Amino acid sequence: MADDRVALRLRGVTKIYSLADSEVIALDTVDFEAQAGQVVVIMGPSGAGKTTFLTIAGTLMKPTSGTIEVAGIETTKLKEKELASIRRENVGFIFQSFNLLESLTALENVRVVAAGGITAPASDTNRARELLNMFGLDHRLHSLPRQLSGGEKQRVAIARSLMNNPEIILADEPTGNLDYKRGQEVMELLLQISVELRKAVVIVSHDHRVREVAHRSLWLQDGSFRDTIVTANDPVCGQLVEVDSASAVTWENKDYYFCAGECRQLFKANQQKYAKRESK
Ligand SMILES: Nc1ncnc2c1ncn2[C@@H]1O[C@H](COP(=O)(O)OP(=O)(O)OP(=O)(O)O)[C@@H](O)[C@H]1O
Ligand SMILES: [Mg+2]
């Protein structure tokens, strides 16, 4: 069945960054599959290896060992030129910072990733326009990024990721720069893309709300996927934390778990406020 197609497969992927006097094992023998028509969310604390994972999955960086299959093609032995065309045809990227070109309009930003680039044929312009229309940006086609809101920029970035009709969409913290409502809209858009356009959508994030739209969610920590992790939301910042390793405070017979930041202190200073918010 077409829907069971594995669009992206990583096997035994390890990534070690070498520093002057030490090494960082950012990914440790990771296996992963993503199928067409599914949203997979990878969550985990800062430094867990999420961006490293996505960069390697999108063939922008080679792993230290292991293999990456994109649309059935094993990529680790390919040359940069071959990789570039595999990426262009099969992978759409959505970055946290949008990565739009400031001197190009919304329409040009979407069109530019097509094989013809900025001197694209009319068919590319039409496709770029259709994608922007689909995301409610028909009145912003000729706006520059600085004339767009954060949510609008993110929708241009999503339209751009679809320009070449890739099988796989990779998104790094797609809601990171957006407020709650815009973040929710972007997540729903990604869900719609995966289901209606039959794309494999892989999202990495430490925003727990992204799980709401996921068909599958995985927890990455210290470079490996953990499947038996118990998580809770930090009542102050809302971040998802691993219960086993988070610092905890008990208040009125209930345990609360905190991220590595100042949230524990803030909670202690105003327990009633945060405990009430959490139980909503
Ligand atoms: N270019 C690099 N050189 C050396 N170490 C790196 C490099 N990039 C990342 N690291 C280290 O690898 C680990 C994983 O980093 P990565 O950026 O993948 O984490 P992340 O889960 O995306 O974190 P965040 O949620 O903060 O974005 C971290 O310990 C980080 O310090
Ligand atoms: Mg990151």
- Provide block-wise average pLDDT over 10 residues at a time, the chain (280 residues): 74 96 96 94 89 95 96 94 93 87 94 75 91 93 94 92 94 84 85 92 85 85 80 81 80 86 88 74
pLDDT confidence of residue 1: 41
- Is this prediction's pTM over 0.75? yes
Q: What's the per-residue H, E or C state across 17-71?
A: EECCCCEEEEEEEEEEEEECCCEEEEECCCCCCHHHHHHHHCCCCCCCEEEEEEC
What pLDDT was estimated at residue 238? Answer: 80
Does residue 138 sit in the same domain as residue 115?
yes
Report the phi/psi class of residue 117: left, alpha or beta, with left for phi > 0 and alpha for psi in -120 to 50. Answer: left
On whether both 235 and 173 belong to a single domain, the answer is no
Domain check: are 207 and 248 in the same one? no
Evaluate: CB of 161 within 6 angstroms of ligand 1.
Answer: no
Rounded Cα–Cα distance for residues 246 and 231 (Å): 9
Ligand 1 contact via 47 beta carbon (within 6 Å): yes
Ligand 1 in contact with 24 (CB < 6 A)? Answer: yes
Distance 61 CA to ligand 2 centre (A): 14
pLDDT for position 230:
67
Q: Which of 51, 54, 62 to mutate to test the pocket of ligand 1 (most atoms within 8 A of CB)?
A: 51
Nearest ligand 1 atom, CA 15: 12
46 close to ligand 1 (CB < 6 Angstrom): yes
Residue nearest to atom 5 of ligand 1 (CA): 17
Closest alpha carbon to 7 in 131, 129, 90, 83: 90
Residues 123 and 89 in one domain: yes
| pLDDT value at residue 103 | 94
Q: Are residues 49 and 170 in the same domain?
A: yes
Residue 118: predicted pLDDT: 62
Q: Which of 201, 226, 251 is the endpoint of a domain?
A: 226
Same domain, 250 and 122: no
| Together in a domain, 238 and 218 | no
Interacting residues of 62 by C-beta distance below 8 A, sequence separation 6+: 56, 76
Please indicate, yes or no, whether residues 166 and 100 belong to a single structural domain of this protein: yes
Domain count, the chain: 2
pLDDT at 114: 87
Tell me if 26 CB under 6 Å of ligand 1.
yes
Same-domain check for residues 169 and 150: yes
The whole-angstrom separation of Cα 64 and Cα 14 is 6
Q: What is the CATH number of the domain that holds 14?
A: 3.40.50.300
Q: Based on the domain organization, do 88 and 56 belong to the same domain?
A: yes
Question: What would the two tokens of residue 69 be?
Answer: 């299959």
> How far, in Å, is the centroid of ligand 1 from the Cα of 47?
5
Do 55 and 143 sit in the same domain of this protein?
yes
Q: Contact, 45 vs 221, CB < 8 A? A: yes
One domain for residues 209 and 235: no
Ligand 1 center to 170 CA (angstroms): 17
Which structural domain range is residue 58 located in?
2-226
Q: What pLDDT sits at residue 51?
A: 92
Q: Is the dihedral of CA 124, 126, 130, 133 positive or negative?
A: positive
DSSP 242: E
Contact between 164 and 87 (Cβ < 8 Å): no
Give the C-alpha distances (Å, rounded to integers) separating 264 from 206, 246, 258.
Answer: 18, 10, 6
